[in-house]
């Protein structure tokens, strides 16, 4: 996209704009007036009285018209976002913003723009950074570029802690320039306040949204259609009955925000293609259910854990899920119970429990024996159909692994095919997760220890952030921030 933008910018700079053609003392018949001859007589250096001549060199209007009311300023809600506003007199087939800061040159999406007032947001900029931006309009072969505008992003909220960049290998790391996660900036894990953030590869926060009322967020994600973000705001650790739990949709510029309030929402949830959500409903400390809420607010129950679990463990939180991860091809959900170190796979239509993995009786066995998972977090299916999760080492809760298994239904075995032991000095008492990136690397969050790691298949760290012991949520690599500002 950049070469096209630079080419169009060159065309714009080289284009002759009308500035009045008859200021000389000679006759102008048959010259620059394209059929609006003055009769061949001298016009004494006067102009053509504003007669349009088809957009050539004598000051007539062009198909693009003109730009006015240009301004560049901070977004009202997010100080790392800048907004360019303008008015254009005519329609444009294409319009885009080219903006630069430090050694980066970025462009906004190329969109058709109608005559009138317009605006576009500038994304991916760190705080307290000066930015230079130009607007280009194009219709047919003609383009028009504005003068350069300069503005700076603002200062982050005082309580929004910024991670340290420990290391980064741009060659070995995935190509995605940003990562989405959540961070609890309070003094105690799970009790907030929380922020949902996007960081660049240098660990700088380029976007954020604060989660109000000390509600917990740790599983932010991209919407299934890729047009916006979603995150949960759980009241699991909020003891104020007036505060409601919800799942929130929003665009990066906050132009679209929607909140689905869910009574009894626990710690785990997943979006469905029809706009509904499946989630863990905490009826009590013992009774937990897998439920679904439709886009119009209707609730239905898919599966109840306690009637099954009480035969094996009837303790408090035995059924409490820390993750519910849907596989749409299978039409199933992985329901992960951390306290009993067990995962069940539930059919979303019938509510039938199809498989169980872990430490509860009747689960698939592990091969090798010492690959058993314990206090696992965020199990998910990789693109290759393997099971990936974060786990403590059984019997040694100061050691943590990422484990990947192939699932053998014939032998009812979880065969470990890859593992990664998180480095000394990093250990999450709770939370964490791992997601496979499209280049084969794995993005890891070390929960309550506040570290973000990207490791290659050999287990080499290629990107590392340290959030100073703040609880962080799942980490998703992403590249196109403008896709997350389209809305629904």
Summarize pLDDT for 105-150 with one digit per residue, the tens: 999 999 999 999 999 999 999 999 999 999 999 999 999 999 999 9
Angle at 394 between CA 391 and CA 397, to 5 degrees: 75
Burial of 343 (0-12, 13-18, 19+ CB in 10 A): buried
Q: What is the pLDDT of residue 47?
A: 40
Name the nearest CA neighbour of 75 among 272, 179, 207. 207
Contact in structure between 224 and 271 (CB atoms under 8 Å): yes
pLDDT tens digit sequence for 423-466: 878 889 999 999 999 999 999 999 999 999 999 999 999 999 99
Instruction: Tokens for 209, please give them.
Output: 């949204």
- How many helical (H) and strand (E) elements, i.e. helices and strands, does the chain have? 2, 35
Q: In this structure, how many other beta carbons lie within 10 angstroms of the beta carbon of residue 256?
A: 15
Dihedral sign of CA atoms 455, 459, 465, 466 in order: positive
| Alpha-carbon 263 to chain mean position | 26
- Give the H or E element holding residue 7: helix 2-14
What is the distance between the alpha carbons of residues 1 and 159, in angstroms, rounded to a whole number? 37
Beta bridge partners of 229: 222, 250
Beta bridge partners of 92: 113
Q: What is the pLDDT of residue 62?
A: 54
CA distances from 186 to 45, 49, 232, 354, 464 (A): 74, 70, 18, 40, 22
What is the distance between the alpha carbons of residues 479 and 221, in angstroms, rounded to a whole number? 14
Residues 6 or more apart from 133 whose CB is under 8 A from it? 72, 82, 84, 97, 98, 99, 100, 122, 148, 149, 150, 151
B/e letters for 384-410, b = 16+ CB within 10 Å, e = fewer, are eebbbbbbbbbeeeeebbbbbbebeee
Could you tell me the fold of the domain covering 2-12+63-152?
A: Immunoglobulin-like (2.60.40)
What is the distance between the alpha carbons of residues 135 and 72, in angstroms, rounded to a whole number? 11
| Alpha-carbon 37 to chain mean position | 60
- Which residue did the predictor score with more confidence, 3 or 270? 270
* 43: pLDDT strictly greater than 50: no
Q: pLDDT grade, residue 360 (50/70/90)?
A: very high
Name the nearest CA neighbour of 248 among 230, 272, 265, 274. 230
* 60: pLDDT strictly greater than 60: no
User: Where do the structural domains in the chain lie, given as residue ranges?
Assistant: 2-12+63-152, 164-485
Q: pLDDT grade, residue 397 (50/70/90)?
A: low
User: Domain 164-485 has what CATH class?
Assistant: mainly beta
List the strands of the sheet with 373-381, edge to edge: 365-367, 413-421, 396-408, 387-393, 373-381
Dihedral sign of CA atoms 421, 424, 425, 427 in order: positive
What is the distance between the alpha carbons of residues 38 and 28, in angstroms, rounded to a whole number? 7
Name the nearest CA neighbour of 65 among 18, 109, 10, 133. 18
3-state class of 448 per DSSP? helix
What is the distance between the alpha carbons of residues 235 and 283, in angstroms, rounded to a whole number? 13
Dihedral sign of CA atoms 355, 357, 360, 365 in order: positive
Checking DSSP bridges between strand 221-222 and strand 229-233, what pairing results, if any?
antiparallel
Dihedral sign of CA atoms 31, 35, 38, 40 in order: positive
Angle at 475 between CA 473 and CA 481, to 5 degrees: 120
Burial of 295 (0-12, 13-18, 19+ CB in 10 A): exposed
Q: pLDDT grade, residue 29 (50/70/90)?
A: very low
Contact in structure between 252 and 244 (CB atoms under 8 Å): no
Phi, psi angle pair for 288, to nearest 5°: -125, 140
**Residue 485 DSSP one-character state:** G
- Give the H or E element holding residue 8: helix 2-14
* 8: pLDDT strictly greater than 70: no
Q: What is the mean pLDDT of residues 70-81?
A: 96
Instruction: Tokens for 235, please give them.
Output: 């009241």
Name the nearest CA neighbour of 97 among 113, 84, 116. 84
pLDDT tens digit sequence for 413-423: 999 999 999 88
Q: What is the mean pLDDT of residues 254-277?
A: 96
Tokens 């949960």 found at? 232
Q: pLDDT grade, residue 31 (50/70/90)?
A: very low
Dihedral sign of CA atoms 458, 479, 203, 259 in order: negative
């Amino acid at each position: 996209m950049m070469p096209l933008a630079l080419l169009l910018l060159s065309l714009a700079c080289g284009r002759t704009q009308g500035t009045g053609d008859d200021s000389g003392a000679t006759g102008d018949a048959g010259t620059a007036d394209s059929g609006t001859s003055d009769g061949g007589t001298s016009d004494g250096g006067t102009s053509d009285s504003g007669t349009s001549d088809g957009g050539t060199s004598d000051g007539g209007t062009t198909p693009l018209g003109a730009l006015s009311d240009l301004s560049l300023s901070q977004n009202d809600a997010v100080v790392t976002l800048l907004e360019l506003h303008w008015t254009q007199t005519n329609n444009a087939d294409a319009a885009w913003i080219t903006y630069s800061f430090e050694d980066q040159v970025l462009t906004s999406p190329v969109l058709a723009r109608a005559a009138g007032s317009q605006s576009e947001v500038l994304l991916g900029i760190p705080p307290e950074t000066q930015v230079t931006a130009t607007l280009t309009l194009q219709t047919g072969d003609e383009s028009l570029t504005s003068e350069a505008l300069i503005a700076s992003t603002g200062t982050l909220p005082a309580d929004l802690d910024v991670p340290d960049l420990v290391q980064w290998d741009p060659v070995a790391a995935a190509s995605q320039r940003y990562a989405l996660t959540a961070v609890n900036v309070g003094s105690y894990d799970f009790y907030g306040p929380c922020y949902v953030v996007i960081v660049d590869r240098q660990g700088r926060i380029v976007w954020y949204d604060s989660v109000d009322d000390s509600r917990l967020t740790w599983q932010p994600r991209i919407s299934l259609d890729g047009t916006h973000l979603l995150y949960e705001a759980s009241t699991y650790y909020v003891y104020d009955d007036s505060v409601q739990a919800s799942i929130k949709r929003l665009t990066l510029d906050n132009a679209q925000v929607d909140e689905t309030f869910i009574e009894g929402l626990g710690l785990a949830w997943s979006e469905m293609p029809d706009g509904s959500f499946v989630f863990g409903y905490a009826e009590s400390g013992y009774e937990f259910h897998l439920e679904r809420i439709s886009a119009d607010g209707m609730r239905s129950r898919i599966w109840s854990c306690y009637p099954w679990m009480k035969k094996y463990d009837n303790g408090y939180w035995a059924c409490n899920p820390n993750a519910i991860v849907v596989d749409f091809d299978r039409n199933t959900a992985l329901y992960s119970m951390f306290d009993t170190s067990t995962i069940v796979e539930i059919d979303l239509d019938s509510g039938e429990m199809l498989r169980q993995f872990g430490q509860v009786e009747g689960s698939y066995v592990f091969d090798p024996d010492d690959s058993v998972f314990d206090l696992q977090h965020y199990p998910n299916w990789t693109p290759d159909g393997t099971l990936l999760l974060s786990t403590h080492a059984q019997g040694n809760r100061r050691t943590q692994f990422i484990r990947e298994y192939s699932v053998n239904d014939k032998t009812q075995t979880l065969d470990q095919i890859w593992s990664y032991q998180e480095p000394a000095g990093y250990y999450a008492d709770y939370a964490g997760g791992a997601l496979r990136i499209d280049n084969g690397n794995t993005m890891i969050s070390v929960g309550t220890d506040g570290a973000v790691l990207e490791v290659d298949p050999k287990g080499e760290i290629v990107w590392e952030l340290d959030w100073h012991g703040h609880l962080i949520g799942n980490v998703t690599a992403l590249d196109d921030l403008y896709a997350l500002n389209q809305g629904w």
